[in-house]
Amino acid sequence: MLNDTVAPIRLSDYRPSDYAIDRIALDFDLRADETLVRAELAVSPRDGIGGKPLVLDGDELTLVSVALDGEVLGANSYQVQDTSLTISSPPQGAFTLTIVTRLDPAANTKLMGLYRSSGAWCTQCEAEGFRRITYFLDRPDVLSVYRVRMEADAKEAPVLLSNGNLVESGDCGNGRHFAVWDDPWPKPSYLFALVAGDLEAVKDSFTTKSGRHVDLAVYVEHGNGSKALYAMDSLKRSMKWDEDVFGREYDLDVFNVVAVSDFNMGAMENKGLNIFNDKYVLADADIATDGDYAGVESVIAHEYFHNWTGNRITCRDWFQLCLKEGLTVFRDQEFSADERSRPVKRIADVKVLRSHQFPEDGGPLAHPVRPNQYKEINNFYTATVYEKGAEVIRMLKTLIGDDAFARGMTLYFDRHDGQAATIEEFVACFAETSARDLSQFMNWYFQAGTPVVTVAERHDEASQTYELVLSQETPPTPGQPSKLPQVIPVRFGLVGSTGNDLRPSRISGAETSADVFILDKAQQTIVFEGLSERPVPSLFRAFSAPVKVRHALSSDDQVFLIGNDADPFNRWQAATSLSMAAIVKATHQARSGQPFSFDTAFAEALGAALDSDALDPAFKALLMSPPGENDIAREISENIDPDAIHTALMAFRRFVASRLAPRFARLVQDGTGDIGSGFSPDAASAGKRALANAALDYLALTGESSAFDLTYARFQAATNMTDRLAALSILVHRGAPQADEALAAFYARFSSVPLVVDKWLATQATVAKAQTLDKVIALTADPAFSFGNPNRVRSLIGSFASLNPTQFARADGKGFDYVAQTIGRIDDSNPQLASRLLVSFRSWRSYEQGRRSKAEKALRALQAKEKLSRDVSDILERTLA
């Protein structure tokens, strides 16, 4: 049943804690059946107001004892409730509280707090997991210095790690040993971490620019050391980059990364001891695709960058989550752009934003980048907070310029180091360095919803003026019926018939620089003077704002931009818009039973681009990949029939394949030389593989047996996971006769490598065929699958629900029913995992009537379940509202 009784936490209710906890000494006695935790807290009243009741947070804890200044407290000096421990009348001044709790990490299936993964002990505390270890003021604005002692069996857990620097270790006799870690930097409890287990370490070191020697280690399960080398390499490059680009140096003598196989998300930035989902650590040619390598690099960088943006400067409260997450995503995006290809990275990031954030912003779960209320904070680690949060910072940089932005960052680091800060404090730094009023800009933090910018244009030959009329509107979102205009930086070029950008003699109607104008009103007319010819407008270059653009550019203009725009992002955008228009039209034709007709514009433009030597292979591969089914559904936006979309998309792709088959064959041929040669994960090599595999997919769409034979041959010859998985996926998704054989061979070879099993599961779960649901159900019984492991669940159930629109949204409702029931089952053991899966229902109202009522039925059935977690009830309640 829905738990309506939970009242939301509101930003407007924020007030500092009555007490500070300046120091905490933790002592862990780690044993197989139970763990005892002794916490000694140095508590002092803030502002000298002593004597008020001290209310500490707790969750599923067994309290053993409480002592105040060394005296064990009698039962009437404190109250234990489900989620708190209250010391009714503490002394007026500072005091020491000693709390002993008993935990059962082996029974902790929520993977929050202290739990076990593959025989090791590990922790996850963000956002509110520390209260599952001991009673504490578990909130980010309570900063404490931690000293951690842990003791465990020396054989079972030879490796004992926590935050900070190792200060002592030794033998306790009786087969047990201990270690003491000291973290000199005050930190909030969510950054606490502990790991104890039998792990292999890959070691290296880094010397910071001011000469600090830092010991680096990446800990993995025994036998996986060679798979951690790329993570280590990424870490060293991240450390250097943050010094070079943001002037940020590392601040401890040790930096450890630990990979664990049971983890609810990607990774966690605990101070000096990052804990990772092994998916973002382990990589070698045999098990990781190029996409996996890029993922390892960016997540390693992201967590490392948190050391300054998140750890040294943390968040005052969880409403400020984007302060650390949006900013750190921005920083990791910039890192990857510098390490790889900037335009390719930008396109990849925008694809993620559009596929994850736009549907969130346009549906029942929409919330501002800085939310102002929540019921369950774990449900706010969203694409809006992360990805839109990063876009807001990117816009800020565009708006105030690189120089003022860089000075603003430095000011922020200087001014707020050691503090728990707010978004207002962050933005104030940039207002100061740019001398600009950023109050309207703050709407990006406060207002949910994706603004829609509509563009109309007019050229007047006689006066040689060109006008752009731009209007913006942000649709209503839950709790925000009407919106104010946003500050929207439009990076632009006016492309002349020769392909060069034209230079107007004067621009009026908006604040403007040579290549950016700023919209800040509901409607504006920008006038460009001195233009004798009508230019083709290239707006929102490099995707300069997270908006939807409605601009009726002709097909000729799009083709012209694909071939001529100086901005690579907009060349890709033009290709995407052109193919999108064709597929949307075909979807409507499919719906009404008409035959499809495609014009040749896209295929011809693509053919020309593929022939160009000026474009790199990774970029060509992006040009080739048309929008996906979920992108098309988003464009159509209502009354969605996923089958019609699938039919139209396939027909369009087959049409392109038929027009360009010889070129595609040549691209596959050119790429085949790389199979069997030495593997390098660098961006250029990855780009070549992406191009060959994109071409191969088109060839296989023809359904010709020669294409399947070629694909199967590549599958067998592949010496790296990128080519192997690409071929496997083509065989399986295109229904090749070799599909089952290839799946069996793949499984035979990799069934003992869980991360590769994930690829095998996801490949099968995403087949657009009616048998897939039964297949998914059958795969849950495979020995390599487990409902207890988040990676397995996301690969099988998550992929089915979010990447297989025709089968998840089967017209008979069985896909919805199965996923909803499975969410209910998972919720009993791991609520965070369950509520993440539930998000795949967020666009249920945009289906056509039949599917919509089936989806609602499945959601209502879940809602009627006996006991639901706060995580799941929160999402359900908002999804159905």
Q: Using CB under 5 A as the criterion, which residues of the chain lie in contact with Zn ion when the complex forms? A: 325, 328
**Least Å from the CB of residue 267 to ligand B3K:** 6
**Least Å from the CB of residue 88 to Zn ion:** 38
The entry of ligand B3K, Zn ion, none near residue 259 (CB within 5 to 8 angstroms by kind) is none
Say how far apart CA 60 and CA 80 lie, in whole Å: 11
Output the six-digit token pair for 209.
């620019």
Nearer to ligand B3K, 217 or 268 (CB): 268
DSSP, collapsed to helix, strand or coil, labels residue 23 as strand
**Least Å from the CB of residue 307 to ligand B3K:** 11
The entry of ligand B3K, Zn ion, none near residue 723 (CB within 5 to 8 angstroms by kind) is none
The entry of ligand B3K, Zn ion, none near residue 609 (CB within 5 to 8 angstroms by kind) is none
State residue 293 phi and psi, 5-degree precision: -60, -45
- Name the strand (E) or helix (H) holding 624: helix 617-624
**Least Å from the CB of residue 193 to ligand B3K:** 12
The entry of ligand B3K, Zn ion, none near residue 622 (CB within 5 to 8 angstroms by kind) is none
Output the six-digit token pair for 134.
């001991």
The entry of Zn ion, ligand B3K, none near residue 127 (CB within 5 to 8 angstroms by kind) is ligand B3K
Nearer to Zn ion, 325 or 871 (CB): 325
**Least Å from the CB of residue 122 to ligand B3K:** 14
Nearer to ligand B3K, 126 or 501 (CB): 126
Q: CB neighbours of 138 closer than 8 A, spacing ≥ 6?
A: 56, 57, 128, 130, 131, 189, 190
State residue 595 phi and psi, 5-degree precision: -75, 150
- Name the strand (E) or helix (H) holding 114: strand 113-117
> Is 200 considered catalytic here?
no
Contact between 272 and 312 (Cβ < 8 Å): no
Chain residues in the site for ligand B3K (CB under 6 A): 126-127, 265, 267-269, 302-303, 306, 325, 378, 381
**Least Å from the CB of residue 527 to Zn ion:** 43
Say how far apart CA 123 and CA 100 lie, in whole Å: 18
Output the six-digit token pair for 528.
């460009």
Nearer to ligand B3K, 378 or 799 (CB): 378
Nearer to ligand B3K, 296 or 603 (CB): 296
Nearer to ligand B3K, 341 or 378 (CB): 378
Q: Give the count of beta carbons closer than 10 Å to the beta carbon of residue 2.
A: 16
Q: Give the count of beta carbons closer than 10 Å to the beta carbon of residue 429.
A: 21
Q: Kindly state the DSSP code that residue 356 receives in the 8-state scheme.
A: I
Nearer to Zn ion, 105 or 310 (CB): 310
The entry of Zn ion, ligand B3K, none near residue 110 (CB within 5 to 8 angstroms by kind) is none
Q: What is the dihedral of CA 145, 329, 482, 870, to 10 degrees?
A: -60
**Least Å from the CB of residue 443 to ligand B3K:** 24
The entry of Zn ion, ligand B3K, none near residue 837 (CB within 5 to 8 angstroms by kind) is none
CB-based closest residue to ligand B3K: 126
Among the listed residues 389, 483, 485, the one whose alpha carbon sits nearest the alpha carbon of residue 441: 485
State residue 814 phi and psi, 5-degree precision: -70, -30
| Choice among 303, 325, 391, 629 that is catalytic | 303
The entry of ligand B3K, Zn ion, none near residue 30 (CB within 5 to 8 angstroms by kind) is none
Nearer to ligand B3K, 183 or 269 (CB): 269
Output the six-digit token pair for 94.
């500072």
Say how far apart CA 191 and CA 197 lie, in whole Å: 20
Contact between 380 and 321 (Cβ < 8 Å): yes
- Name the strand (E) or helix (H) holding 807: helix 805-808
- Long-range own/partner contacts, residues 810-813 (CB < 8 A, 24 or more apart): 810/770, 810/773, 811/643, 811/850, 811/851, 811/854, 812/854, 813/851, 813/854, 813/855, 813/857, 813/858
**Least Å from the CB of residue 377 to ligand B3K:** 8
Contact between 507 and 528 (Cβ < 8 Å): yes
Please identify every residue annotated as catalytic: 303
